Amino acid sequence: MNADNVVEAKGCLNRNSGGRSSKPRLYRCVLVGLSTCFIVWTVLEALFIQHRVSTVDRIPPTPPRQFERIFIASTHWNNAVIQLAKKWGPENIFVSIFESGSWDDSKGALRDLDLVLDRLGVRRNLTLSEIAHQDEISRPPSEGWIDTPRGRKELRRIPYLARLRNLTLRPLEDLARNGIVFDKVLFLNDVVFTVDDVISLLNTNDGVYAAACSLNFSKPPRYYDTFALRDSNGDETLMQEWPYFRSATSRDALLAMSPAPVKSCWNGMVSMPVAPFLSKTPLQFRAIPDSLAQLHVEGSECCLIHADNPLSPTKGIYLNPRVRVGYNDLAYAAVHPHTAWISLHNIALALWENRIRRWTTSVFFKKRIIRRRITSWERYPGTRSEPAAFCLINEMQVLVGNGWAHV
């Protein structure tokens, strides 16, 4: 160290060396030192995480030695279903699709799909319904209808969706009665995916899970399915961009690119063991009771299914960050770049945004609102408890002629 550096160091350490001017100099030196440590720590942390993310992401999924038999349940479809059928073999696949009230040429596309699957020898059940949303909301009110703040009875969205999902599962019991059984149910939304994505999803946690989910994107880098995803503590995600979670357990697994333990997920593509759907009391999609929804509370059928699944407490539910699907080709390409799918800059900013949000926000008040409404509802004569409080949010959702709406 030269003489000038020694003098400067002494000037920072010796408070009396410069008289009255020593204190500002000391504060400046401390600030520079802390800033330097902060920058170095942030850069090294971001570099380490990006290296780990990139390394894990480049490892190709290991094809199974023996293909599990998959029952594909969907209310949509895309061409990847055909590729999956070719890869898995027609004897290992059953495709069940229920289409209802589409405005585009989905019915024509599904008829084309039916012809292709027939040529491949794939067993299937494709149901094309002419009933549209407008037909549903034009019927006389019955179960699933509630009084809304708009001064009229309206049809809830979630019971409608739960019914459609259950219709896709109906062939499962018929096949089982005929001795045709499957290992997993693969639920698909209308997403872009590849066969490798399916292999990675099925391999989640070495194939041991109550449910394994992908990450889905419509407008990257923000993930899409906020309604159903809950971290290991049952909390909604802290932010829509990586690393998403408030829970340390879920977040740490995500940072390691490992399957993240969660309490609920859906996110475009989901694999679940078939056994609960064929039990003595079959697992089904459902909505919360109308009387509870009347209190301006709602929960996704895709979250409630995990709360009801008897395998959830023992086998766990996992979000697999290696499986990223998109609602269009551009979204899929954006989360599957040739380089790391999260840039160094985005990692550094997102880590600190997540920390600041955790330090400055709380879920206490949101949870209290929901808890008070559930408690009030449970006092009604003849009501029962709702075991999936973590799924519920302060919303009311109803069907309208061209889709659905918040009320």
Residue 343 — left, alpha, or beta (φ > 0 → left; ψ -120 to 50 → alpha)? beta
Question: Would you mind telling me the total number of residues written for the chain in this entry?
Answer: 407
The runs of H, that is alpha helices, within 221-362 are 248-255, 290-293, 301-308, 312-315, 329-334, 344-360
Q: DSSP character for 8?
A: H
Q: Would you state the structure tokens that stand for residue 110, as one six-digit string?
A: 């599904």
Q: Which of 47-56, 268-277, 293-302 has the lowest mean pLDDT?
A: 47-56
pLDDT of residue 261: 98
Cα–Cα dist 113/68, whole Å: 23
The per-residue DSSP string of 96-141 comes to: EEEEES-SSSHHHHHHHHHHHHHHHT-EEEEEEE---HHHHHTSPP
Q: What is the pTM of this model?
A: 0.89
Neighbouring-strand partners of residue 397: 406
Would you say residue 146 has pLDDT above 60?
A: yes
Q: DSSP character for 276?
A: G
- pLDDT, average across residues 283-308: 96
Cα angle 84, 183, 82; round to 5:
10
Q: Would you state the structure tokens that stand for residue 64, as one six-digit string?
A: 């199974």
Greater confidence, 105 or 401? 401
Report all structural domains of the chain as residue ranges with CATH numbers, in order of start. 70-132+158-363 (3.90.550)
Q: Are 88 and 70 in contact (CB under 8 A)?
A: yes
pLDDT of residue 107: 67
- Could you read off the pLDDT of 282-292 as tens digits, one per residue? 999 999 999 99
Cα angle 244, 158, 149; round to 5:
100
* Amino acid at site 126: L
pLDDT > 70 fraction of the chain, expressed in percent and rounded? 92
- Could you read off the pLDDT of 21-71 as tens digits, one per residue? 677 888 888 787 778 887 888 888 889 898 888 888 888 888 777 789 999
pLDDT of residue 366: 94
Beta pairing, strands 211-219 & 317-326:
parallel
Element (H, E) at 218: strand 211-219
pLDDT > 90 fraction of the chain, expressed in percent and rounded? 64
Greater confidence, 131 or 224? 224
Neighbouring-strand partners of residue 283: none
Cα–Cα dist 130/378, whole Å: 39
pLDDT of residue 124: 92
How large is the angle between the packed helices 3-13 and 22-57, nearest 10 degrees?
100
Q: Please give the mean pLDDT across all residues of the chain.
A: 88
Q: Are 276 and 283 in contact (CB under 8 A)?
A: yes
Cα–Cα dist 353/46, whole Å: 13
- pLDDT, average across residues 351-363: 96
- Could you read off the pLDDT of 98-129 as tens digits, one per residue? 877 655 556 667 888 889 999 999 999 988 77
Q: Would you state the structure tokens that stand for residue 10, as one six-digit string?
A: 């002494």
List the one residue out of 121, 111, 127, 72 whose CA is nearest residue 94. Answer: 72
- Could you read off the pLDDT of 312-340 as tens digits, one per residue? 999 999 999 999 999 999 999 999 988 88
pLDDT of residue 104: 54
Q: Are 277 and 205 in contact (CB under 8 A)?
A: no
For CA atoms 354, 355, 356, 358, the dihedral sign is positive
For residue 33, how far is the Cα from the chain centroid? 41
Cα–Cα dist 382/237, whole Å: 34
